[in-house]
Structure 1
Amino acid sequence: MIDIGSLPVETLLEILLNTNGVTLGRCRRVCKQWKAIIDESDLIWYEICRKEFMYSSRIAKSKAGDECSWYHIYKNLRMWCSVTSFQRNIREFYNFSLHDKNHALPINYNVLPLKDTRGVVLYDMATLKNIPVSVPERNCLKVESNDSVTVILLKSGLFLQRTVQSEGEMSEAFFNADNFILTCDVLYFYNNRDVYRCEIKPNNLSSHLILHCDYDIKVMQYDDGTLHLFTDCGRIVNVGKDKKVTVKSIDCPPEWVRQIKHICVINDKNFVCYSRNLFKIETSKYQHLYLDFPLITALFFYADIVLIGTKTGQILLYRLASQKVATKPIFEEIAVLPNGKFAVHIDVCERKTGPVIVIGTFFKIMVIEIDFFPHEKEKKTSFGSSKLRMYKRLLRLRDRLKVS
């Protein structure tokens, strides 16, 4: 009989990949050797996240970057089922001098960009401390990074700054664009109705047209090899790996489609549409549609749950699994903003200790910190290698924008 402890590491990992997250957590407590093997293999936790939290884990990882391993992502997502039982610490984080509903840009790669009078300032979500570089452009609309490239969307177009290995490689480019999606090695963007693809890895950064859309594009998303375009008229245009184009409609009465103002998308089977009291959510497991809904001022779609800001200042948790057919929606209250404030922007970033919910109002940024695992708190003295590369690219982009 073979002792399981004497199995090759590769064989043990193969066995563990066929378990679930709860079982894997128990296996960590068997012995120090197993704990070390499990903790050091992020692939196991990636596969567990993919099986148990297919979409929310992907969103969480894109927000947290390499500051959170897949193990910490999994632990946090498991704890969201009881998030309202934890103490929520809400506090003011940043004050603005101008009235604007678009002060906060989406969190990406563990960085929170904030638009102020001097341009865009950046904050490290792991520590909530300022990153000592700013983008001198008040018309910045979006900032995204990965290990290879940093992309900034301005009203004038799209700046791309890449980390290169040799001086002969092209390190930056500019494209006319209305919006973009950044994947590991490909940048997709659209200008009016024209959709383009740009390979990030080759020496020469160039784009080519892949589609002229017949409709005005509202939201673009990329998922598992397919590009999804949500249009103003309620149609979803999908461009597959084989470049085959298919078109389908949002399952909603045509007269209601015209009222839809906002769409948050994972793919054509998982999205949420809302506008004032109209709320429609469609996922692989659930389809909900409400016309009598609290007045929504901001929303964050986390696949299995939705965070909603209301005009009365509430931050509500809408849990898809707890909703029942033909009944009023069920909410859990996360927080109530003080002094008559209400959210116009909601974002979430997972940390090792637990999630941080970022709330943008017209004049302030507020944060709600929830410590699922307070023992994970540690002093952070320097950037990780990935964030350091991003920091250097931002410095070059800042200088480039100053010249422009």
Structure 2
Amino acid sequence: MAEGARQLDETPESATVVVIGAGPAGLTVASLLRRCGIDCVVLERRSREHVAQRQRAGIVEARAVRMFESWGLADLVLGGPPHDGILEFRVDGESHLVDDSDGSEGPGARLCPQQVLVQKLTAAHLADGGDLRYEAADVTLHDLTGDRPMVRYRSADGTPHAISCAFVAGCDGEHGVTRTAVPDGHLTAHTLDHGIGWLTVLADAPPPAHPLLAVSPQGFAAHFPRGPHSSRYYLQCPPDDDPGAWPDDRIWDALRTRLADPALTAGPITDRETFRLRGLVNEPMQYGRLFLVGDAAHIVSPMGGKGMNLALYDADLFARAVRDQVRDGDDTALRTYSERCLRRVWSDQEFSHWLTRTVHDAGDATRCGPFLQRLARARLDRLFSSPAAARAFAELMTGLDPAQDRPASTGR
């Protein structure tokens, strides 16, 4: 063994928590731990510039807004205007406005693109003295079932590092190193492929008055705000479609047709890509002292905007669990972390699946058949006409479901 390696093994750094990944999940974990006075190190394989520009989700739901508020972080990390609580469904050109606020007290959802949240979380964490290390390569995890796991990596200049810690937070997404560090046989992956593709388009074009979901015989389309002068569009397409098959003119023609808006204002398209709508849940979300957070544990179809918000929910539960262990020596929340997270995960998976099937099946009957199309249209009719159905939809959209947030009863 080389002398440098021996020295590295003898004198590793020490931290209570090592957070792998500096997206919304990892930065939220780190920020909440700092609020508790718990030291952590964040490792991110990409550059700060790359992470700060990743375009993803656009709405921070009410539950997550209130979570940040409870930690005293809302004013620091949430950008964008409040969501007015109105969602527009446009079915064959006919508009239906649905209130997706459940009427509960407290602040509502915020129109906050993921990159804005990440930028603000990064700035707040660094201003608070946080330890955030970018371009960390060759990250490996060791002794996850022992008392002090070890995390090894190489910094941008090639220098090897090792950090001994009490806990590892795996916040590095589906394809990150933390999930793959779990030995075979310890995780069960539940998957679903919807058989549906989306072309997602980012353009410098006026946002809609309200987030818009459109059903038409030509297929599903959506229009969401991504800032005062920017919009995100979605177009249903074959799952393996090539983005190159969608030149600008074809995109705008399809959007005007499916959104039933012949006067839709076009703008420069800055990004386009296709992806498959699918669901994934890894159970359990813990292995030894490794805890999976966000996309490392679950992927949700974009319908309903649950992906990033589930990650924020996981981060909150994990940070509170570590706080209880470090401050009070109480490991109850850590032992039940996976169980509590998965209650919310499966609830949101079900809602996302329901909404995904409804808006896609209600459109082009050549894909699902006329029977399923009529069932989907019946569900939409019920949503538009039944106050009870509208209230249930609003509760699930808002992200507030007290039955899911209560810890399991321990009896007497």
Same fold (TM over 0.5): no
Structure with higher helix content? 2
Whose RCO is larger (CA < 8 A, sep 6+)? 2
TM-score bin (small chain)? under 0.3
TM-score (norm 2): 0.23
Structure with higher strand content? 1
